Amino acid sequence: MSDCDGIVRAMLEQTDNGLNSISQIFPKTNLSTDHQSEQRSSLGERVSSRIGFNVPPLETENIMSPFAVSRSQTNVPSPLIAVSPGFSPSALLQSPKKFSNSFSQHIIQSPVANDGPPEMVESSGGDYATTMIFNNDVPHQPMNFDHMPHHEGFYDIPTEESVYVPSHESHADLIGAPLVTSFESDEVANETDIMNIISLDSEDEDEDYKEDEEYKEDENVDEEDDSVDELPPRKRRKYEVSDMFGAKRSRKDERVILRMECEEDNPDDGYQWRKYGRKIVNGNSNPRSYYKCTYGGCNVKKHVERGADDVKLLVVTYDGKHNHPIPTGRSSNRSGPRNRSGFSVSQTPRLGRLPSSSSACQYCYSSLEPHPDMALLYMTGLSKLQSFPVNHNHGFMYRHDEPIIDRVIPDRTEVYNGMKDRLLPNFGFNF
């Protein structure tokens, strides 16, 4: 029996109550058992009940203030799903559309999720971005979001979403970190929500094009096309900036945000990036690096920054959608130096400049193969599992540190069963 089999078996041997924390099986998750377990559990019960799982409803009168919750979560054992660190962000990022389809597809296929009461069907609006949090470091658990207003229309606010996925630093374990899907509202996301949330194309894309066209018309770009060279330097630059994609601030609903623990400043996501900027943003002394996808015609950008309060935490924000597959002929194995023709990892630190990458993380990824398979594991085994809101703390990522809600898998038993159901047919695991 392989180590992976043993781990999965151990997970499947959980009681229906899910009393055995994942951290007991996977110490590297840094999750411990204490009152936070109760916190997660009760939230899980609440949401589980809402989405049809057979668990008691949450008693909301005991909801803490966001600060209290934040403190209480420092040791959350969490009903989080543990996924092999081999799971690669590239799988989710190589095609947000693919991620969307896969995610929603499996949710739709879930017989349990559809059995929920009518009131659990809530509209979260169409303008959502996606946040994925690669993290096995509990202190970075987002804040509790139960204090947020529940008035109607609140869910129309476009914001980011979160998903916990394993840290790359835990690559020593086959399964070593929590995975939590997170959503904007503090209510359960139904299938429609998730489809809306995860889907990064469709109408929004068309709207973007319309906006771009209108923008060009307003700027009389066409008329100026032939006279650009005659403009004085200042004006010419203004024209150029006006016409460029990034002149306008990116739409949040086109974003995918990853949080992970990684020493490398630009972890491999399968695509090729070129760094075009670096800036220290408000509230974070760590510089933010800006990257563009080097694929011709692809306007996807991303920026990478360290956590303000934890340099181990890496936040990668993707803007846009790749209009191409992951470049072929390359391996996600990051060991060894990269050539200069496409890979975006910063070069060896130069004189008087901050190091922008570390060799440690190259090992990190080299030990994570095969990424696609683990991505499939996630897609097939975990994606259908419902999540529920826990907390939000985009903290250093946003100007005003607005608390935003995250969701976690509601019940470990469901997680295990879901994994079992999908590992068996899809990967041939024999339990």
Q: Which residues sit at the interface with DNA, rule CB under 7 A?
A: 234-235, 237-238, 240-242, 244-250, 274-279, 281-283, 288-290, 292, 294, 301, 303, 319, 340-342, 344-354, 356, 399
Spatial distance between the Cα atoms of 396 and 160, rounded to a whole number of angstroms: 14
Residue with smaller CB distance to DNA, 110 or 344 = 344
Minimum gap (Å) between residue 139 Cβ and DNA: 22
- Spatial distance between the Cα atoms of 325 and 98, rounded to a whole number of angstroms: 10
Nearer to DNA, 101 or 323 (CB): 323
Minimum distance, C-beta of residue 406 to DNA, in the bound complex (Å): 20
Beta carbons within 8 Å of 136's beta carbon, 6+ residues apart: 28, 29, 30, 31, 166, 167, 169, 170, 176, 177, 178, 261
Q: Which of 123, 205, 190, 207 has the alpha carbon at shortest distance from 158?
A: 123
Report which DSSP code applies to 129.
-
- As a whole number of angstroms, the distance between CA 164 and CA 252 comes to 19
Q: How far is the CB of 239 from DNA (least distance, A)?
A: 8
Beta strands in 361-424, from DSSP E residues, in sequence order: 388-389, 407-408
End-to-end CA distance of the chain, in Å? Answer: 10
Question: For residues 6 and 355, which CB has a smaller minimum distance to DNA in the complex?
Answer: 355
Residue among 10 and 231 whose Cβ is closer to DNA: 231
Q: How far is the CB of 241 from DNA (least distance, A)?
A: 4
CB of 70 to DNA, least distance (A): 22
Locate 227 and state its tokens: 């006279």
Helix (H, G, I), strand (E, B) or coil at 401: coil
Beta bridge partners of 317: 257, 303
Q: Smallest distance, Å, CB 122 to DNA?
A: 24
Question: CA-CA distance, 412 to 180, in Å (whole number)?
Answer: 11
What's the one-letter identity of residue 304?
A: V
Q: How many CB atoms lie within 10 A of CB 252?
A: 18
Listed residue (211, 202, 186, 210) closest to 127, CA to CA: 202
Residues whose CB is less than 8 angstroms from the CB of residue 226 and which lie 6 or more positions away in sequence, other chains included: none
Tell the smallest beta-carbon distance from residue 313 to DNA (Å): 17
The residue among 151 and 249 lying less far from DNA, judged by its C-beta, is 249
Q: Which of 164, 318 has the CB closer to DNA?
A: 318
Q: Which is nearer to DNA, 98 or 278 (CB)?
A: 278
Closest to DNA by CB, 239 or 388: 239
CB of 397 to DNA, least distance (A): 9
Q: Alpha-carbon distance 376 to 78, whole Å?
A: 23
